[in-house]
Amino acid sequence: MSIVDVPVESTGAIQAGQREVRRDLLRGLSKSPMFIIGAVVLLFWIVCAIFGPTIAPHDPLVQNLEAINRSPSSSHWFGTDQLGRDVFSRVIVGVRDVMIIAPLATLLGTVLGTIIGLVMGYYRGLVDDTLGRFVEAFLALPLVVTGLIALSTLGRSNLVLIIVIGVLFTPLIARTVRAAVLLERELDYVSAARLRGERGPYIMFVEILPNVFAPIMVEFTVRLAYAIFAILTLTFLGVGVQPPTADWALDISANFGVVPAGYWWEVTFAAIAIITLIVAVTLISDSIQATLEDQ
Amino acid sequence: MSTAADAPTPGPVDTPPQDALKLEDVDITYRVRGRDLVTVHDVSFRIGRAESYGLVGESGSGKSTIALAVVRYLARNGRVSRGRIEIDGRDVYSLNEGDLRKLRQHDVSMVYQEPGRALNPTLRVGSQVAEVFEIAGEAKAQARDRAEQMLEKVRISDPAGVMNRYPHQLSGGMLQRVVIAMALATDPSLLILDEATTALDATVEAEVLELVTALREEFHTSLLVISHNLAVIAKMCDRVGVLYGGELMEEGPAQELLHDPRNPYTVGLLRCIPRRDTVKTNHTLDTIPGFPPSPGEVEKGCVFADRCGLVQDRCRTENPPLYDAGSGRQSRCHFWEIAQTLPRVVSPVPGAAAVAPGEGEILVSAEDVSKTFHMEGETIHGLVDVSLEVRAGETLGLVGESGSGKTTLARVLLGLTEPDKGATLEIQGTRLPEHAGRRTRDQRKSLQIVFQNPDSALNRRHSIRRLLSRSLSKLGGYSGDALLNRLKTLLSEVRLADRYLPMRPGQLSGGLKQRVAIARAFAGDPKIVVCDEPTSALDVSVQAAILNLLNDLQRREQVSYLFISHDLGVVRYLSDRIAVLYLGRIMELGSAEQVWGAPHHPYTEALLSAVPTLDNGGGKRDRIKLEGEIPSAANPPTGCVFHTRCPRFLGDICVNTEPPLAEEEPGHSIRCHIPLEELRRLQSEEVSVGAGD
């Protein structure tokens, strides 16, 4: 190798490069009050889901027929229900099944949707048209109604719940990923990969996928909120989580009949819990979206 | 809050103000994450009535910031932290809202780089131009008449037709004319052109520049021209200010400053530009080593000190003032008198040329390549019967306006775009499959590309190490220690330091990214590298370094280039042979001397004369005019496709019969009905007339 006549680019570059502030997603999020509130609330429910039984002052399943329909007091902060179970403990423990089913179902939908979206967006043409028909057909299915039918026929278990919601989310995520891939595949690095002799799967998963991660992440958090809502709805309708598990929707469905009698606490606290969880997830997804758009 | 009406309006003074624009000791500060960054420091200049003033500088020099500050359009976190800006003698920053609006309405207009973004895509052009007059108080019908007249003034041949169209139906040059018409509608005293022709083709740019020059005389408008292109400034401006790191480095009359610079930065910048008489075999372009400072980085001393070849201790401790450098010139350099002695960074004469043009073996040949695109019912002829070859060790330059098929041709050769049936591609005598995926590894690695935009060409999620290693293993077949060794040599070949390896492209500057892209193309020891506008996204000083690198690699690796560029100066510098494309057809093909020197195709002639250069005294000579727009490739003209714009149009034969691409002399083919001797006569007349000035 001959000696080069121009010095290697001076050290100014590296500094200039690093100074060119790499605004990390996390750093952006840490400054967003919306995200912090959402994260704190979500973290609270995650702790409840994991340590619920130890935190709860009473066993949520133990009935006390001596003390039914008690209003909130110092011994039962949220009162007791028709079977004399401690509402506070049931709210704390009631998050557990939702917290397991919703993320798994959303993850399933995201993985399937990402694969289908990558394939549709990368290959386009006939592949896109064919898969597109299926995606559109699935998009037309209403989530709760389809879930109701599927769970009634396939059996009521958490596994079926995860699969049903995951599959119904797949086309939604596929659509988002496809749109992002269509933009990405026009960039020159994809051409460069083809000139290198890379095959389709490598280009899709190694080259393109990391670059469409942001919309996938946003879609995941949006879907997570919907999944929580769908699970609670299906449970309320009786095909989701099954008794005797402590569950918010189960409690609402079991006790809403006695609200007119004045026993509001048996439903209200579970309802408030649902609101806080869904709002928290929505806040997180909104702030992730806003931060990504800023960058 | 005191009402604006009570306050004495800083308005018209008794004596008519002398200057259209005056900046006095202006600092502009941006507040970024709680810190004040001074991006423009101590800038003063004035633009007299009907004067044209140019601001040049590389990216980040603060030129656009100044333009925004002049009309109080700075972003919310920016402010003029010191000094005064006056338009027509009125302090822009003490105007109240109403007066400011009036000022923007009547006295200042701006034209930006992207005309498409200055117009509303959902409204017809006519109503947008007429609106300017309506705001000025004209009745609706009258406003439309005035709008039509104004469009005629900017030399739009069918103003009524254009008024009924939507912006997306017009070409870039036409849109920029519409925007200029709107800008001049209120007869402003100051017109600001911020890189207004940068996005346009050379021929269109020349027309727009001429239009502005003519209108300026007619309207007595003062101009503030902001550009990175020194040649444009030379053509348009009476006086020039050179910005660097937010400071005015040098100021003076345009011609004197550009031919006799008195500041080391200007001297260095001018040496970076390929000139008419410099070609790769006789001259290495000079570069400016290092990188521009970021705002606030230089606290003491001269902002250019770190990159200056004449730097002394004094430069680092003492801020140079603007010295008076005689005859209305100023220079911010302690040693302005010896600025011209700035030492060269690289030796001016490179080593011997590799291969004489046209004599190496044929590496790649393309025969009868056509490409037809079908879009929304339209058939677009991207390439029509293109045949050419690239020989070992040579650079074949591809020139032509946008839409001429340069990039399509390159993509066909690379196997990224499949040509129509009937095309033959060969590499070293063997048939080359049309699809990159069906080519052998040897064929793939022989043909690589450096893309125009490194941001798009490098995967932003992969580290430099990963980007290069993957190419080395897929194309070069390297693995393990051999790969690591080759990676090291590859890096030193493109002059990148090892420490960049773990970084991602986003952490590197534009020039460094392009070096990574070049390294990737060279990973498999290619025989031909397609360079698709490799320097058009870079600053002049970085461009010079990249061109030197390409040149150096060619000499060392015996690689051939297919070099695509709209910058004829760059193509001229690098190319051994040139192909001129127009509407997907080769109009002229020959050695660089044959194509650049007369006799050449009338289109080549027009292209060459359209380009503003620093060499022709600011382009005061008569330009061969190219009339009208580039025709649509969906509906090309009959006969010779160039006949609608040809300055040497013969008559019916041009309209009815397409001339063949005939070899008029050895190695020189021209697609024209006019015989070579006749072209030689016509064009030598032109030259002797041109020599008079």
pLDDT digits (tens, 9 = 90+) for B390-426: 999 899 999 988 878 898 999 999 999 999 998 899 9
SS3 B38: strand
8 A C-beta contact, residue B454 and residue B517: yes
Query: Which chain A residue has its CA at the smallest distance from B557's CA?
Result: A1
- The residues, any chain, with a CB within 8 Å of residue B376's CB and separated by 6 or more, are none
What is the pLDDT at residue B458? 95
- The residues, any chain, with a CB within 8 Å of residue B153's CB and separated by 6 or more, are B181, B184, B215, B218
Whether residue B208 lies within 8 A of chain A, CB to CB, comes out as no
Share of chain A above pLDDT 90, in %: 44
Closest C-alpha among B21, B56, B28, B62 to residue B42:
B28
Chain B residues close to A1, C-beta within 8 Å: 489, 492-493
Cβ distance of B414 and A2 shorter than 8 Å: no
Distance, C-alpha B338 to centroid of its chain: 31
Instruction: Tell me the CA distances in angstroms from B628 to A114, A281, B181, B405, B644, one per residue in order.
Output: 49, 58, 18, 19, 8
What is the pLDDT at residue A242? 83
Per-residue pLDDT, averaged over B554-578, amounts to 89
- The residues, any chain, with a CB within 8 Å of residue B477's CB and separated by 6 or more, are B441
Closest-CA distance of chain B to residue A213, Å: 10
Per-residue pLDDT, averaged over A269-287, amounts to 92
Distance CA B236, CA B658 (A): 38
- The residues, any chain, with a CB within 8 Å of residue A133's CB and separated by 6 or more, are none
Cβ distance of A13 and B508 shorter than 8 Å: yes
Mutate to test the interface with A, among B344, B412, B507, B520 (most CBs of A within 10 A): B507
Query: Which chain A residue has its CA at the smallest distance from B33's CA?
Result: A21
Distance CA B63, CA B233 (A): 13
Q: For chain B, give the mean pLDDT.
A: 85
What is the pLDDT at residue B623? 64
> Taking a contact as any Cβ pair under 8 Å apart, which residues of chain A between 228 and 267 contact chain B?
none
Of A52 and B615, which is predicted with more confidence? A52
Q: Which two tokens stand for residue B119?
A: 């117009």
Whether residue A22 lies within 8 A of chain B, CB to CB, comes out as yes
Closest C-alpha among B136, B163, B137, B138 to residue B150:
B163
Cβ distance of B460 and A18 shorter than 8 Å: no
8 A C-beta contact, residue B408 and residue B584: yes
What is the pLDDT at residue B350? 63
Chain A residues close to B493, C-beta within 8 Å: 1
Share of chain B above pLDDT 70, in %: 93
How many distinct helices (H) and strands (E) make up chain B? 24, 24
What is the pLDDT at residue B351? 59
Query: Which chain A residue has its CA at the smallest distance from B495's CA?
Result: A8
Closest-CA distance of chain A to residue B427, Å: 16
Query: Which chain A residue has its CA at the smallest distance from B297's CA?
Result: A16
Looking at the partner chain, which of A17, A188, A197 has a beta carbon nearest the beta carbon of B444?
A197
Whether residue B154 lies within 8 A of chain A, CB to CB, comes out as no
Cβ distance of A191 and B474 shorter than 8 Å: no
What is the pLDDT at residue B280? 81
8 A C-beta contact, residue A280 and residue A38: yes
Radius of gyration of chain A (CA): 25
What is the pLDDT at residue A201? 94
Distance CA B491, CA B486 (A): 9
Distance CA B156, CA B7 (A): 45
Q: How many CB atoms lie within 10 A of CB A143?
A: 18
- Whether pLDDT at B483 is above 90: yes
Cβ distance of A8 and B495 shorter than 8 Å: yes
A25 found inside a domain: no
A31 exposed, middle or buried (CB, 10 Å; 0-12, 13-18, 19+)? exposed
Per-residue b or e along B463-495, where b marks 16 or more CB atoms closer than 10 Å to that residue's CB: bbbebbbbbbbbbbebeeeebeebbeebbbbbb
Cβ distance of A188 and B507 shorter than 8 Å: no
Q: Residue B172: pLDDT band by 50, 70, 90 thresholds?
A: confident
What phi and psi, each to the nearest 5 degrees, are found at residue B473? -80, -40
Cβ distance of A1 and B495 shorter than 8 Å: no
Chain A residues close to B502, C-beta within 8 Å: none
Per-residue pLDDT, averaged over B321-332, amounts to 89
The answer to whether the Cα torsion of A90, A95, A101, A105 is positive or negative is positive
Q: How many CB atoms lie within 10 A of CB B652?
A: 9
8 A C-beta contact, residue B608 and residue B572: no
Task: State the pTM of this model.
Answer: 0.83
8 A C-beta contact, residue B287 and residue B545: yes
Distance CA B30, CA B65 (A): 10
How big is the A-B interface in CB pairs under 8 Å? 108
8 A C-beta contact, residue A254 and residue A246: no
**A192-248 pLDDT tens trace:** 999 999 999 999 999 999 999 889 999 999 999 999 999 999 999 988 888 888 888
How many distinct helices (H) and strands (E) make up chain A? 13, 0
A3 found inside a domain: no
Looking at the partner chain, which of A7, A188, A198 has a beta carbon nearest the beta carbon of B289?
A7
DSSP type of residue B306 = G
Distance CA B268, CA B265 (A): 5
Chain A residues close to B346, C-beta within 8 Å: 5-6
DSSP type of residue B477 = -
Cβ distance of A9 and B460 shorter than 8 Å: no
ipTM over 0.85? The verdict is: no
Distance CA B264, CA B245 (A): 14
Distance, C-alpha B146 to centroid of its chain: 34
- Whether pLDDT at B587 is above 70: yes
Range of the domain at A268: 94-294
- Domains and their CATH numbers in chain B: 54-77+90-244 (3.40.50.300), 260-341 (no CATH), 362-582 (3.40.50.300), 597-691 (no CATH)
Q: Residue B9: pLDDT band by 50, 70, 90 thresholds?
A: very low
Closest-CA distance of chain B to residue A15, Å: 9
Whether residue B166 lies within 8 A of chain A, CB to CB, comes out as no
Distance CA B469, CA B255 (A): 49
Q: Which two tokens stand for residue A230?
A: 């769908």
Give the type of residue at B401. Answer: E
CATH number at A111 reads 1.10.3720.10
8 A C-beta contact, residue B359 and residue B344: no
Q: Residue A13: pLDDT band by 50, 70, 90 thresholds?
A: very low
- The residues, any chain, with a CB within 8 Å of residue A230's CB and separated by 6 or more, are A143, A144, A147, A165
A226 found inside a domain: yes
Distance CA A182, CA A118 (A): 9
B5 exposed, middle or buried (CB, 10 Å; 0-12, 13-18, 19+)? exposed
Give the type of residue at B245. Answer: G
Cβ distance of A196 and B474 shorter than 8 Å: yes
Looking at the partner chain, which of A1, A10, A194 has a beta carbon nearest the beta carbon of B289?
A10
Q: For chain A, give the mean pLDDT.
A: 84
Whether residue B216 lies within 8 A of chain A, CB to CB, comes out as no
Edge-to-edge strand ranges of the sheet holding B108-111: B108-111, B190-194, B222-227, B52-56, B239-244, B247-253, B330-331, B323-324
Q: Which two tokens stand for residue B245?
A: 């790191």
Whether residue B470 lies within 8 A of chain A, CB to CB, comes out as yes
Mutate to test the interface with B, among A3, A9, A206 (most CBs of B within 10 A): A9
Give the type of residue at A148. Answer: L
8 A C-beta contact, residue A195 and residue B439: no
Query: Which chain B residue has its CA at the smallest distance from A6's CA?
Result: B346
Mutate to test the interface with A, among B32, B58, B291 (most CBs of A within 10 A): B291
- Whether pLDDT at B692 is above 60: no
A23 found inside a domain: no
Instruction: Tell me the CA distances in angstroms from B662 to B255, B409, B583, B645, B693, one per residue in order.
Output: 42, 20, 18, 21, 35
**A108-167 pLDDT tens trace:** 999 999 999 999 999 988 999 999 999 999 888 888 899 899 989 988 888 999 999 999
Q: Which helix H or strand E contains B293, and what residues bound it?
A: none
Closest C-alpha among A139, A135, A142 to residue A115:
A135
Chain A residues close to B475, C-beta within 8 Å: 196-197
Instruction: Tell me the CA distances in angstroms from A190 to A194, B57, B406, B458, one per residue in order.
Output: 6, 34, 20, 9
Cβ distance of A197 and B289 shorter than 8 Å: no
The answer to whether the Cα torsion of B122, B126, B127, B129 is positive or negative is positive
Q: Residue B379: pLDDT band by 50, 70, 90 thresholds?
A: confident
A147 found inside a domain: yes
What is the pLDDT at residue B354? 52
B163 exposed, middle or buried (CB, 10 Å; 0-12, 13-18, 19+)? buried
What phi and psi, each to the nearest 5 degrees, are found at residue A138? -65, -35
> Taking a contact as any Cβ pair under 8 Å apart, which residues of chain B between 471 and 510 contact chain A?
471, 474-475, 489, 492-493, 495-497, 499-500, 503, 506-509
Q: Residue B12: pLDDT band by 50, 70, 90 thresholds?
A: very low
What is the pLDDT at residue B46? 92
The residue to which tokens 């239009």 are assigned? B211
Cβ distance of A10 and B503 shorter than 8 Å: no
A68 found inside a domain: no
What phi and psi, each to the nearest 5 degrees, are found at residue B662? -105, 140
Q: Which helix H or strand E contains B516, and what residues bound it?
A: helix B510-521
Chain A residues close to B447, C-beta within 8 Å: 195
Looking at the partner chain, which of B456, B470, B495 has a beta carbon nearest the beta carbon of A187?
B456
A156 found inside a domain: yes
Q: Which two tokens stand for residue A214?
A: 């942001």
> Taking a contact as any Cβ pair under 8 Å apart, which residues of chain A between 209 and 228 contact chain B?
210-211
**B193-248 pLDDT tens trace:** 988 888 778 778 888 888 888 888 888 899 999 988 888 898 889 999 999 988 99
8 A C-beta contact, residue B672 and residue B659: yes
Cβ distance of A197 and B507 shorter than 8 Å: no
Whether residue A198 lies within 8 A of chain B, CB to CB, comes out as yes
Whether residue A293 lies within 8 A of chain B, CB to CB, comes out as no
Mean pLDDT check: name the lowest of A192-196, B10-14, B105-109. Answer: B10-14
Q: What's the domain count of chain A?
A: 1
Distance CA B639, CA B652 (A): 9
Whether residue B520 lies within 8 A of chain A, CB to CB, comes out as yes
Distance CA B481, CA B487 (A): 10
Distance CA B74, CA B76 (A): 6
> Taking a contact as any Cβ pair under 8 Å apart, which residues of chain A between 62 and 101 contact chain B?
none
Whether the ω angle into residue B599 lies within 30 degrees of 0, i.e. cis, is yes
Query: Which chain A residue has its CA at the smallest distance from B449's CA?
Result: A192
A190 found inside a domain: yes
Closest-CA distance of chain B to residue A180, Å: 15
Whether residue A183 lies within 8 A of chain B, CB to CB, comes out as no
Cβ distance of B512 and A2 shorter than 8 Å: no
Distance CA B544, CA A126 (A): 46
8 A C-beta contact, residue B577 and residue B589: yes
Whether residue B294 lies within 8 A of chain A, CB to CB, comes out as yes
Per-residue pLDDT, averaged over B348-365, amounts to 69
Phi-psi region at A282: left, alpha or beta (left = phi > 0; alpha = psi -120 to 50): alpha
The residue to which tokens 């609670």 are assigned? A232
Whether residue B48 lies within 8 A of chain A, CB to CB, comes out as no
Closest-CA distance of chain A to residue B192, Å: 29
Distance CA B394, CA B354 (A): 8
